[in-house]
Amino acid sequence: MTLRNLAALLLLGGLSAGCASHVDRHWGESYRTLTRNQIENPDAGADPSPVEGLSATSADHVTTSYHERRSTPVQDHRVDRSTVSEQLGQ
pLDDT of residue 90: 56
87 C-beta neighbours (distance < 10 Å), count: 8
pTM of the predicted structure, to 2 decimals: 0.33
pLDDT at 6 over 90: no
Confidence of residue 87 (pLDDT cuts 50, 70, 90): low
Q: Which of the pair, 52 or 82, is modelled with greater confidence?
A: 52
Q: Return the pLDDT at 36.
A: 93
- What's the CA gap between 55 and 63, in Å, rounded? 12
Residue 22 CA to residue 14 CA, distance in Å, equals 15
25-73 pLDDT, tens digit each: 888 898 999 999 899 988 888 888 877 788 888 889 989 988 888 877 7
Query: At residue 84, does pLDDT exceed 60?
Result: no
CA distance 20 to 26: 10
